[in-house]
Amino acid sequence: MSQKLERLKTLLAEVADLNHAASVLGWDQQVNMPPGGHEARGQQLATLGKIAQEKFISDEIGKLIEDLEGEFAGADPASDEAALIRVAARNYDKARRVPPEFVAEQAVVTSRAFEAWMEAKGKSDFSIFQPHLEKVVELVKRYISFFPPADHPYDILLDDYEPGMKTADVQAIFDALRPKQVELIQAIASAKQVKDDFLFRKYNEKKLNDFGVDVITKFGYDWNRGRQDRAPHPFATTFSVNDVRITTRFEPDNPLAMLFSTMHESGHAMYEQGVNPAYERTILMGGASLAIHESQSRLWENLVGRSLPFWEHFFPVFKKTFPSQLDGVGVKAFHRAVNKVEPSLIRVNADEATYNLHIMLRLELEIAMVEGKVSLKELPEIWNAKMREYLGVTPPNDAKGVLQDVHWSYGSIGYFSTYALGNLISAQLWEKINRDIKNLDDQIRKGNFGELLAWLRTNIHRHGQKFEPQVLVERVTGSKIAAEPYVRYLTKKYSEIYGL
């Protein structure tokens, strides 16, 4: 191996170690840390972030990348070496523009904002979070200013989560998708409605948790390289290919959300556990993008976990676990219930037909924030108005409205559209998977998920960050991210459930 490439890998491994150490602190902040620790934790994260940034943007790394770009100019672009140099160069150029002092300041501001968000959500009072969000948005605008002007300032934020994607691309996809989803929702609204009251009875939290653990163990989540804890907002996090953790939460008024949350986060985690081990401590470790990541979590949660074959396998055990709650309920009635379409307040609990409308709402608000076209003080009222316009429902309070998501407290503006893009990618992949695995439904009906996971390992997981999302999707499915497969999936599924 080239000595310069070996040296670059050594330096990048140290940066990766620092970033993963910060991730451990971030995980602990949400899972274990007492409320009084947030100020110190913010400083700790700031210090680690600043050191990692300074190490990454060093002149030595810059010179190594420059030399290696010349040395590997004729290499196969799909080779690990060429990909590592390409991704390192891209990330270096972006990171070099951002002062380490800014990274440290952002860590402190977002740590405080997260604690304020938790308090504000608990008290359902946006005014507690507002001054912190104002600082977060101010920092986001400063971050944009470090980069050359883009077609739209939001492009710079989106590119951090979805490399190569433009705001106009996402808006075009959403513009094509929105009327078709609205048409489907309207058709469902005029059909006979699904009975689902048995989903909202009292379910024992521990039994639900244990059932979810059994499900994702069958999926293939490796407990020797993972664990599950509780957090205010479910998430997955990676410290190593061999240490990928998930969290869940229990909602007494919507108990089965815990089960689907566990399936969702296991999809993220199995992706990270499936990355080529050779990418450990390199810049290629991790998922290709947030949309590709979300395609994995939504695939396991929805295309598998809400399918009839899945419940034909798991329902007998589930009903035996909860006999009084499910007395007189058959598998088909249960399947219809967990797929009921009903405009709702909370994004993470939204059904597949309405979910993307939640994302489109957030994208509009984020773009308005970046453009300075919205007063943050008025954000709760604007949110509520858009919820009425998009979904016909009005949040009764801030906790179920503008404060429901944690992302803005992290400074993660530019993130939300990846959720909807992930839905679209999951359906594209699903069509290809069903062409390649002819008896997939039968395998799921028998509780066999090994061939499905192996397909995902081979085609998606092992590549890590080697390919940009559009490139990866096109390599696997033959086309870039598109809305049509998702529309076909939703139309077929809900036509069967609702007799459309």
Residues with catalytic annotation? 265
The answer for residues whose C-beta is within 8 angstroms of residue 446's C-beta and 6 or more apart is 313
How many CA atoms lie within 13 Å of 25's alpha carbon, on the beta-carbon side? 21
Total residue length of the chain:
500
CB contact at 8 A, 237 and 286: no
Contact indicator for 271, 246 with CB cutoff of 8 Å = no
Which residues, other chains included, contact 76 with Cβ-Cβ below 8 Å and sequence gap of 6+? 82
> By C-alpha distance, which of 154, 169, 135 is closest to 373?
154
With CA atoms as reference, report the closest residue to 355 among 162, 170, 157, 185: 185
d(CA 340, CA 334): 10
Of the candidates 280, 209, 219, the one whose C-alpha atom is nearest the C-alpha of residue 247 is: 209
- Number of C-alpha atoms within 13 angstroms, CB side, residue 84? 24
Check: CB of residue 264 under 8 Å from CB of residue 422. Answer: no
Which residues, other chains included, contact 216 with Cβ-Cβ below 8 Å and sequence gap of 6+? 262, 263, 266
371, amino acid identity: E
**123 CB burial (10 A radius; 0-12, 13-18, 19+):** middle
| 175 sits in which H/E element | helix 167-189
- The helix/strand/coil state of 235 is coil
Write out 81-143 in H/E/C secondary structure: HHHHHHHHHHHHHHHHCCCHHHHHHHHHHHHHHHHHHHHHHHHCCHHHHHHHHHHHHHHHHHH
**Would you give the DSSP letter of residue 193?**
P
Of 131, 129, 160, the C-alpha closest to 143 is 160
